[in-house]
């Protein structure tokens, strides 16, 4: 029989939420796709050289010829933003990978071994969490040196603690499952149990957190680049592009505003996609 009863208010709100969420999710996916395309094949979006100076065209406002205007040396800002996405995205992916791998190893060891090993590892994680992320990344990048990869390593190391906590919580829950206890009772060694039973069940949660963490990592990488720790000039990087235009806010607003909007849109799009992935995972 077909249910002819009117939908409950909760159902109506849920349906309405899904309708309004779809356009935002599609727009977020399109934004991330454009950023990935810019990083992988920038020549598909612009044919201009991001390093070519044109003194006669300096500080031109946005127009059909120069979509984002030009900077103080006459370089096309849109081309610099497009080409700069490769460095920023590369640093963000390296940072997430470092936090993911190192945090997963620490979390698995703490959650599976328990006892003194867990207490020792998690106290170290708590110490890392007590230090503000940007301050810790500044200290690390000062010790490691300047450059995109060094910035990525510094940001990645600051995110190890949160990855470790997520993995440890999941691992501690999974090791109490009957099938894990049965494997241990059957004489299976811990490395085999971790690889065959614990890690596959932890992967979903840790990958979801990696997606959530990506937006924050982009912001942190851009902040360090803004402070001058990223790629050396004249290489374009999103944070350094904003830094180059901060002295011209009154006369050339586009130098900081447009790269800043690109960073904001990328972070919001990544967070929206991660939120949708988390909702889908919870509904299973």
Q: Considering Cα of 73, then 74, then 77, then 78, what sign does the dihedral take?
A: negative
Residue 228 region by backbone torsions, left for phi larger than 0, else alpha for psi between -120 and 50, else beta: left
Dist. CA 35–CA 149, nearest whole Å: 19
Dist. CA 276–CA 212, nearest whole Å: 10
For tokens 């979390």, name the residue.
107
CA dihedral 99, 100, 105, 109 (to 10 degrees): 90
Cβ distance 39 to 90 under 8 Å? yes
Q: Crossing angle, helix 77-113 and helix 9-40, to 10 degrees? A: 120
Q: pLDDT by residue (tens digit) across 246-257?
A: 888 888 999 999
Which tokens go with 209? Answer: 């957190």
pLDDT band at 192 (very low <50, low <70, confident <90, very high): confident
Q: Would you call 134 exposed, middle or buried from its count of C-beta atoms within 10 A (0-12, 13-18, 19+)?
A: middle
Q: Mean pLDDT, to the nearest integer, of 168-196?
A: 83
Q: Mean pLDDT, to the nearest integer, of 189-195?
A: 82
Q: Look at residue 12 in the predicted model and tell me its pLDDT.
A: 44
Q: pLDDT by residue (tens digit) across 18-43?
A: 555 688 889 999 999 999 999 999 99
Q: Look at residue 142 in the predicted model and tell me its pLDDT.
A: 86
The CA–CA distances, whole Å, from 125 to 164, 206, 252 equal 7, 16, 44
Q: pLDDT by residue (tens digit) across 118-152?
A: 888 888 888 888 888 888 898 898 888 888 899 99
Q: Which residues of 6-41 are buried (b: 16+ CB within 10 A; e: fewer)?
A: eeeeeeeeeeeeeeeeeeeeeebeebbebbeebbee
Which tokens go with 108? Answer: 């698995």
Residues in the chain: 284
Q: Look at residue 198 in the predicted model and tell me its pLDDT.
A: 87
Dist. CA 237–CA 80, nearest whole Å: 8
**Largest Cα–Cα distance in the chain?**
78
* The pLDDT of residue 61 is above 90: yes
Q: pLDDT by residue (tens digit) across 83-104?
A: 999 999 999 999 999 999 999 9
Weakest mean pLDDT among 145-159, 184-198, 214-228: 184-198
pLDDT band at 193 (very low <50, low <70, confident <90, very high): confident
pLDDT band at 190 (very low <50, low <70, confident <90, very high): confident
Neighbours of 169 (CB within 10 A): 15
Q: pLDDT by residue (tens digit) across 67-82?
A: 999 999 999 999 999 9
Task: Catalogue all structural domains in the chain, each as residue range(s) with its CATH number.
Answer: 77-283 (1.10.3720.10)
Q: Kindly report the pTM of this predicted structure.
A: 0.86
Q: Crossing angle, helix 254-283 and helix 199-226, to 10 degrees? A: 170
């Amino acid at each position: 029989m077909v249910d002819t009863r009117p939908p409950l208010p909760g159902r109506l709100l849920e349906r309405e939420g899904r309708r309004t969420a779809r356009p935002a999710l599609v727009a977020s996916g399109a934004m991330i796709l454009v950023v990935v395309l810019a990083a992988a094949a920038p020549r598909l979006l612009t044919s201009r050289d991001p390093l070519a100076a044109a003194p006669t065209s300096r500080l031109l406002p946005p127009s059909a010829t120069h979509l984002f205007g030009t900077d103080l040396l006459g370089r096309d800002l849109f081309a610099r933003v497009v080409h700069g996405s490769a460095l920023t995205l590369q640093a963000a992916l390296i940072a997430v990978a470092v936090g993911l791998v190192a945090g997963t190893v620490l979390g698995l060891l703490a959650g599976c071994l328990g006892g003194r090993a867990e207490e020792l590892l998690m106290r170290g994680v708590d110490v890392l969490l007590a230090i503000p992320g940007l301050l810790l990344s500044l200290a690390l990048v000062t010790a490691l040196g300047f450059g995109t990869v060094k910035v990525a390593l510094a940001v990645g190391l600051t995110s190890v603690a949160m990855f470790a906590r997520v993995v440890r919580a999941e691992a501690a829950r999974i090791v109490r499952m009957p099938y894990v206890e049965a494997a241990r009772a059957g004489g299976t060694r811990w490395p085999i149990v971790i690889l065959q039973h614990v890690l596959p069940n932890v992967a979903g949660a840790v990958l979801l957190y990696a997606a959530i963490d990506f937006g924050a990592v982009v912001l942190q990488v851009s902040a360090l680049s803004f402070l001058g720790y990223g790629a050396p000039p004249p290489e374009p990087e999103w944070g350094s592009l904003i830094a180059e235009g901060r002295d011209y806010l009154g006369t050339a607003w586009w130098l900081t505003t447009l790269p800043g909007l690109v960073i904001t849109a990328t972070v919001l799009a990544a967070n929206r996609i991660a939120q949708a992935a988390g909702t889908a995972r919870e509904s299973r």
